[in-house]
Amino acid sequence: MTLKTNFAALMLIMGSLAAVPAIAVAQDKPADPPAAAGAPAQPPAAAGAEEEAAAGPAEVSLDALLKANGDIPDIVIGKPDAKIAIVEYASLSCSHCANFHNKVLPDFKAKYLDTGTARLIIREFPTSERALVAHMLTRCAAPDKAPGLLSELFHKQEEWAFSDGDPTPKLKAFATGVGGMTPEAFETCTKDQKLFDKLVANFTAAGDKFGINATPTFFIDGKRVTDAATMETFDKLLAEKK
C-alpha cells in the first residue's frame, strides 16, 4: 500500500478521543498490532477511542449534517426518502459499533428502517488506520454491495481489525466476496490517494463541526443521542418524534 498517510489529521482526531470517558459498559479492544511488511500502516489506537457518544453539541444543523460528506455518496440503510434521518458516525474497528451493527441493527432495521419510518446514514470516523482502509473498501464497492460489505466487516471484525500480522488477505477476501470487487479493483482501491484524503478530510471536519469525539455517535434529525445505542434508547427517542 502506497498511500500518503495524513498522520497529523488522524492523530489529532485520535488524540481528542483519548480524553473521552466511557458511558456504556463494554469490553474495549486492544490497539492494532504492528503490521507485517506490505500491510497498511497502523498508528496505535487511542485509549478510550471506542466509547459511546459523549461530550459535544446537543444538536447540530440537519442540513449541514446531511451535506457533510461532500461528493462522497452516503451509505444508507432503509428507504432514502424516509422522513427521519439517523446519522451514525462509526469506525469499523470499534467494538461498540460492531455490537450495534451485529446485535441491535437487525431488530432496529425491521422495526424502523424496513417500514420507512427512518433511514440510517453511515459515516466514517475511523479510530485506526486499518479501519480507514476498510472504510475505503466500502466506498469502492458498488452502492448495492456497500451495506453488505460493511456488515461483513463488522461481523468478522476479530479476523482483520485485531488479528496479528497483515490484514490485507482477509480484507481482500471480504472485498472480492461480499463486496463484489475484482482483485484488480481491490488493489486500485487500497492505493486511491484521492479517496483516502477525502475520507480523512471528512472525519476531521466532523470532529471540528459536529463535535464527534467517540464512536459510535448518532444524530436523530440533528439531535445527538447521548444514551447507549440500544433498542430501548431508540424506541424512546423515536416515539418522541411521533
Boundaries of every domain in the chain: 43-239
In which band, very low, low, confident or very high, does the pLDDT at 125 lie, cut at 50, 70 and 90? very high
Residue pLDDT, tens place only, 192-238: 999 999 999 999 999 999 999 899 999 999 999 999 999 999 999 99
Cα gap 64→66, rounded to integer Å:
6
Please, which residues have CB within 8 angstroms of residue 60's CB and are 6 or more apart in sequence?
A: 209, 210, 211, 219, 222, 224
- Check pLDDT > 60 for residue 12: no
pLDDT of residue 4: 53
Q: Which of 126, 184, 180, 118 has its CA nearest to residue 152?
A: 180
Tell which wins on pLDDT, 66 or 56: 66
- Check pLDDT > 90 for residue 51: no
Mean pLDDT for the chain overall: 82
Whether CATH 2.60.40.2230 fits 43-239: no
Tell which wins on pLDDT, 6 or 99: 99
Residue pLDDT, tens place only, 136-160: 999 999 999 999 999 999 999 999 9
Residue pLDDT, tens place only, 72-103: 999 999 999 999 999 999 999 999 999 999 99
Inter-residue contact 140 to 192 (CB < 8 Å): yes
The pTM (predicted TM-score) of the whole model is 0.81
- Check pLDDT > 70 for residue 21: no
Instruction: Give the helix, strand, coil percentages of the chain, each rounded to 5.
Output: 45, 10, 45
pLDDT of residue 8: 46
What are the helix (H) ranges across the chain? 7-17, 62-66, 95-99, 105-108, 129-140, 146-155, 157-160, 168-176, 183-190, 193-210, 231-239
Cα gap 187→197, rounded to integer Å:
17
Tell which wins on pLDDT, 32 or 68: 68
